[in-house]
Copies of this chain bind each other. A is one copy, B any other.
Amino acid sequence: MRVSEVTRLTKGEQTRSRIVAAASEAFERDGFGGAGLSSILDASGAPRGSLYFHFPGGKEQLAVAAIEAALAELLPVIKEMLRGARTASHGVIRMLRLLSDRLEASGFEIGCPLCSIVSSSASAPESVRRAAAKAVGTIEHSLAAHFIDHGRSGRDAKRLATVVLSTIEGAILLARVQRRRDPLDRVAKALPQLLLDEP
A residues with a Cβ closer than 8 A to B are 29-35, 108-109, 111, 116, 118-123, 129, 132-133, 136-137, 159-160, 162-163, 165-171, 173-174, 176-179, 182-183, 186-187, 189-190, 193-194, 197-198
| Given A116-B119, A119-B177, A133-B178: 5 more A-B contacts, CB < 8 Å | A31-B33, A111-B122, A167-B170, A169-B169, A170-B173
Instruction: Tell me whether chain A's interface is mostly helix, strand or loop, or mixed.
Output: helix
A129 cross-chain contacts in B, Cβ below 8 A: 177, 179
A136 cross-chain contacts in B, Cβ below 8 A: 174, 177-178
A173 cross-chain contacts in B, Cβ below 8 A: 118-119, 122, 166, 169-170, 173
Q: Nearest chain B CB to A150's CB is how many angstroms away?
A: 16
Report the separation of the CA atoms of residues A97 and B179 in the bound assembly, to the nearest whole angstrom. 29
Q: Nearest chain B CB to A192's CB is how many angstroms away?
A: 10
